[in-house]
Amino acid sequence: MKKRVVVTGIGAITPIGIGKDDFFNALENGVSGLGPITKFDASDYDTRIAAEVKGFEPTAYIDKKEAKRMDRFTQFAVAASKLAIEDAKLDTDGIDQNRFGVVLGSGIGGIETLEKEYEKLATKGPGRVSPFFIPMMISNIGAGQVSMTFGAKGPNTTVVTACASSTNSVGEAFRIIQNGEADVMITGGAEASITPLAIAGFCAMKAMSTRNENPQKACSPFDINRDGFVMGEGAGILILEELEHAVKRGAPIYAEMVGYGMSADAYHITAPAPGGEGAARSMMNALKDAGLSPNDVDYINAHGTSTPYNDKFETLAIKSVFGQHAYELAVSSTKSMTGHLLGAAGGIEAIACIMAITKSIVPPTINLENPDPECDLDYVANKAKQKEVSVALSNSLGFGGHNATIVLKKYVR
């Protein structure tokens, strides 16, 4: 018999708020976190806008000396984990640390460190490269630093599946607890890729919006005028816990995680499979794992990147899975507010699903002013919707054809 898994803690470091309450409030009110890039001079770039995390002070969460030895993505991971642990009222010294683990996702890892250290190499020579360069850059160091900070000695790994990374991470952590290998898992993802090289690379791909004159309107999923995604940064962390373990310690319980599915497009390095057939299989696999039918789902947090192909094909995928019920669902893209956090996107979008379940408020898709006729579902345009949500599904679809879906459900003892 598989163990039941619940969400007991939430940690959010996002472009629209730091901490669960600020993040929830911004989602409800359709706040945009997009603006001009301030981290470097982007005046020569085709895209000069992003969704930066404002007001983040790492030393509020991390020892100053340790923070200097962490890339920004790792700082986000540790800080958001601290917030989630506090939210879960979890005494990390009072649990079996051998059954306390970490699974985190990051699509790109320490690219800021990579760029800075390469600049040292190019201008000052190899002797000036930091001895901390490698352990600051590698993508698994986020999970490593979180485990060291909080004494998590159980299962520990990192998932790198581009934009699906943190949804896959949450799914893998879910399975670890289901299978009885751990009692508590820190999971989700972190990313900090608003850097000169990363932005230049995505500009070269023509993947990002170039609506620089009106940044807050630049990300417009499902709108006929959408022209690309907007880069975001931050971290979304959940504490997943075996139900009886959570009940025994009197933990807060936000929702139950009941399903996880994934699939591969096996089609193209960046473009989604025609008709969204890979995404459809991922959703079907997640529903099968949850033991639910399509008609049980009330809300979908879409991948919804604001790119022409993604939004169209994800819509087709939803229609193929849900049939007529697709038109009764609420579907929204919170990337319209947060930008696209790449490997951390699924973490904060899982949190958005939890908000929908616990508060009966579905976050909106802002900037949806001229709907694409081929995107004809209820995308909760521009204003949050009051709606009872018993079951929510979150999609993440990554470069390389990686598709991941999780299913969260209102907790009933």
Q: Which sequence positions are flagged as catalytic?
A: 163
Radius of gyration of the chain (CA): 20
Give the C-alpha separation, 233 to 326, whole Å: 31
Which residues fall within 8 angstroms of residue 176, CB to CB, at 6 or more apart?
101, 103, 155, 182, 185
| Strand extents, DSSP E, 61-209 | 100-105, 156-159, 184-191
Region class of 273: left (phi > 0), else alpha (psi between -120 and 50), else beta: beta
Structure tokens at 54: 């404002």
Q: What is the b/e burial string over 353-389, where b = at least 16 CB atoms within 10 angstroms of the residue's CB?
A: bbbbbbeebbbbbbbbeeebeebebbbbbeebbeeeb
State the pairing for strand pair 255-264/402-409: antiparallel
Q: Are the C-beta atoms of residues 167 and 394 closer than 8 Å to each other?
A: yes
3-state secondary structure of 152: coil
Query: Within 10 A of 29 (CB to CB), how many other CB atoms are there?
Result: 14
Helix H or strand E segment including 247: helix 243-248
**How many Å apart are CA 209 and CA 216, to the nearest integer?**
11
| C-alpha span between 187 and 170 (Å, rounded) | 6
Per the listing, tokens 């508590």 go with 184
Return d(Cα 147, Cα 159) in angstroms, integer.
15
